[in-house]
Structure 1
């Protein structure tokens, strides 16, 4: 197969999407296919204008210059070529190849739901709604889709005006080598690396400041656990620097000296952090898949996550579940208290029970094997291309 991947431009500084594209491109190349990657160049973006205009200049590159470039390049591309959109958010480009073999990878529809006022935690402004409408008009022209979870597939079908020709689910495959390590050895390394006292263990969260990651909820649960149970191991939040609201939540915590935001942490150190953690706390409000759940389990760490799809799809029978944080702020304290009870249970598991759950997690994480995922994706790519006449 000749496969052309459409992906987000580098100048957007995305993290997960470029990694996903590299996984697909490398995997298909290793399987003997001819690979190209098409993405906008930062022509307008690099013009000497104020930073406040960069987003809009980036839109010019993505939705004016790039489509013009694609139309010219398509004239030289044979009909028996597969066009792969690595994210449904690339929807505005899909009409360019709607009548040629194509497939769209779908990750999550959180922004789409926010734009139609179905995520009250994330209100969307006028310009954001227009942008999501443009994305919607694009991906609904598509005919073939691969979703990263059953939840994402349900959301896709909610928005599509008609059933597509192909709609499959392929779970993400872990794209880094996660494996268990000796906890005390990992903690000793991290203690020296971060200059923190971690010998008695720590509670871990990995994620960014996106509203659905619910980092503030992590602190709420931690505060409640410390208050109710009078125990004191640190909380480590690996990811972006806290935004203003999260920083205030930190400042207001009576346990702020034991809450640590760790930024720009190398991948290898993140893997070590999973292996050394007492528990991984992931009270996400929503996800497309939920990478960190599988990563933590593969690393031998017990996981607490939200009792809603797709978190339940990824955690399977191996995770400890808590309810989703309520939208009504009046009920958050009760939610945090109930969640703290689950947290305390996991922290105080007997060694035998802990090893039992760790074993379940490792087995569960094996479902998310990258090679198996790529094999299934390759099979679906072939299905799409086989429908095309020479």
Structure 2
């Protein structure tokens, strides 16, 4: 069996999707498959890189020139080739191979749901709405899908209008082998990285600046917790941005005894140490495609607080502590008070119970491995070729 992996063009400067494609490619090569990567080249984009026309030049490369190149390449492909789309956002290319063996990896449909007006916190402009409909027009013609969560699989049908012959769910595997460190090793790593760790640890959040990370809500939750303590633990916000207007407003609500610190660019080894000493990990997202940090925190034995909604409750499982979804019309202060009460409950757990939960969290996280994911991909690829 041969694989052709359809990938995002390098000029899009994405990191996660190329990493995902390489992970699949390397794993399948290790199983003896012939793997090729197909992606648009910057024929037009290179003349406009860095200008306001760069995006549109990239569209010409992706949706005008690349399809012509694909049609020529297909002439040399036999019946033993499976065409793998590494992201459903590559949907406009699906019709090129819809009558050949193919499969689409689906990560999340947040952009499509926003374009359909279903996420008021993230309105989409007219051109964005058209673009998402164009992507949907393409991927809904696919017959086989692999989704990272049950939520994504459901969204493909509900919002993506897909009518798959097969639809499998394969959870992502951790890209780094996170493990729980001893307190001494974790503290040494954090101090070596120049981070202001104290003997009592901290409340931890890891997540980017995207709207669905609920950064302002996390700060409000922390404020509600801090107001109830003379010496509250500090809140570490890793990879989040404090420049957001809502976050700035929330920071003004933090009491004098509280402390919110923002950090960027922490390496995996440093994050591993932070998860290992954190008193709790707070991740009440409004939405996710998968939610990597939930598994990372569990792998290091850290207690997790997240949102009781898919896919967060699917990924975090029965060992997490859950908060209700924070909707736009909800009372922020009431929601924050609920979260603070949950956080206080975690911090007051008896030592013996906490130690037992650590082992159970680590066991839960052990199912999310790259090896398990790629083995399952291989099984699905083979089944599609048989069909």
Which category of TM-score, normalised to the shorter sequence, fits these structures? over 0.9
Superposed, 1:26-37 pairs within 5 Å as: 26-37=26-37
Q: Is the 8 A contact 1:303 1:320 kept in 2?
A: yes
Render the CA deviation track for 1:128-177: whole Å, top value 9, x for unaligned. Answer: 10010001101011010011111111111113546311111111122221
Shift of 1:120: 1.2
Partners of 2:117 and 2:230 lie apart in 1 by 41
Mean CA deviation greater in 53-62 or 300-309: 53-62
Shift of 1:12: 2.1
Whether 2:322 is the aligned partner of 1:321: answer yes
Q: Is the 8 A contact 1:191 1:199 kept in 2?
A: no
Superposed, 1:1-390 pairs within 5 Å as: 1-48=1-48, 50-161=50-161, 163-239=163-239, 241-245=241-245, 248-249=248-249, 251-254=251-254, 258-328=259-329, 331-387=331-387
Shift of 1:241: 4.0
Shift of 1:379: 0.7
- What RMSD, in angstroms, separates the aligned Cα atoms of the two structures? 1.9
SS at match of 1:5: strand
Mean CA deviation greater in 175-184 or 201-210: 175-184
Shift of 1:253: 4.0
Q: Is the 8 A contact 1:183 1:277 kept in 2?
A: no
Partners of 1:333 and 1:109 lie apart in 2 by 30
Partners of 1:334 and 1:247 lie apart in 2 by 18
| Compared CA separation, residues 111 and 224, structure 1 to 2 (3 A) | same
Partners of 1:268 and 1:116 lie apart in 2 by 40
Shift of 1:278: 1.6
Shift of 1:200: 1.6
| Compared CA separation, residues 300 and 48, structure 1 to 2 (3 A) | same
Q: Is the 8 A contact 1:23 1:175 kept in 2?
A: no
Gaps of 5+ in 1: none
Shift of 1:25: 1.2
Q: Is the 8 A contact 1:173 1:369 kept in 2?
A: yes
SS at match of 2:199: coil
Partners of 2:157 and 2:49 lie apart in 1 by 41
Q: Is the 8 A contact 2:48 2:57 kept in 1?
A: no
Query: Which consecutive segments of 4 or more residues in structure 1 shift more than 6 A?
Result: none
| Compared CA separation, residues 207 and 42, structure 1 to 2 (3 A) | farther
Q: Is the 8 A contact 2:215 2:247 kept in 1?
A: no
Q: Is the 8 A contact 1:307 1:321 kept in 2?
A: yes
Partners of 2:80 and 2:13 lie apart in 1 by 32
Partners of 2:205 and 2:169 lie apart in 1 by 27
Partners of 2:12 and 2:169 lie apart in 1 by 27
Q: Is the 8 A contact 1:219 1:249 kept in 2?
A: no
Render the CA deviation track for 1:261-281: whole Å, top value 9, x for unaligned. Answer: 211222222222222222111
SS at match of 1:146: strand
Partners of 1:47 and 1:83 lie apart in 2 by 30
Partners of 2:231 and 2:345 lie apart in 1 by 12
Gaps of 5+ in 2: none
Q: Is the 8 A contact 2:189 2:270 kept in 1?
A: no
Tell me the TM-score normalised to structure 2 length.
0.94
Shift of 1:348: 2.6
Partners of 1:181 and 1:315 lie apart in 2 by 20
Tell me the TM-score normalised to structure 1 length.
0.93
SS at match of 2:138: helix
Shift of 1:49: 5.6
Q: Is the 8 A contact 1:184 1:199 kept in 2?
A: no
